[in-house]
Amino acid sequence: MNYVILAVKVIKNSEQSFFADGTSLTELIVQLPQVRKNNLKVIFKASIWGKLSHDVAKYYQPDDYIIIEGYISIRAINIDRSINLLNKQVEISVFKLYPLFLKS
């Protein structure tokens, strides 16, 4: 498994969703902060499950900085089915989250 600890900036806080068994899921769109002035922006999705999902939906909003711990995975998504074009997207399944800098 690929375990990571990252400091990230919340770009978009999507709504909380629930499964039939009551498990909750919150997905955040996050960005790695850049020190250098270049055009490369590393943006990816962070998935938070369970009770931590409730806290994330309640307390964190865009432009907050957080530290996330979790497992990184790369998902292949099909962009164009007619020519079978695949793109790879990074996703992190978060199991610990710490506030770093909150706007509110």
CATH of the domain at 35: 2.40.50.140
- Residue among 103, 29, 16 at smallest CA distance from 65: 103
**Amino acid identity, residue 60?**
Y
Mind listing the pLDDT tens digit for each residue in 2-41? 999 999 999 998 788 999 999 999 999 999 987 777 777 8
Q: From residue 88, how far is each of 25, 28, 43, 103 by CA, in Å?
A: 22, 18, 13, 32
Q: Mean of the per-residue pLDDT values for the chain?
A: 86
Domain span including residue 54: 3-101
Q: Determine the Cα–Cα distance for residues 53 and 46; give it in Å rounded to an integer.
A: 11
% of the chain with per-residue pLDDT over 90: 52
Give how many domains the chain has, as a whole number.
Answer: 1
pLDDT in tens, 46-63: 999 999 999 998 999 999
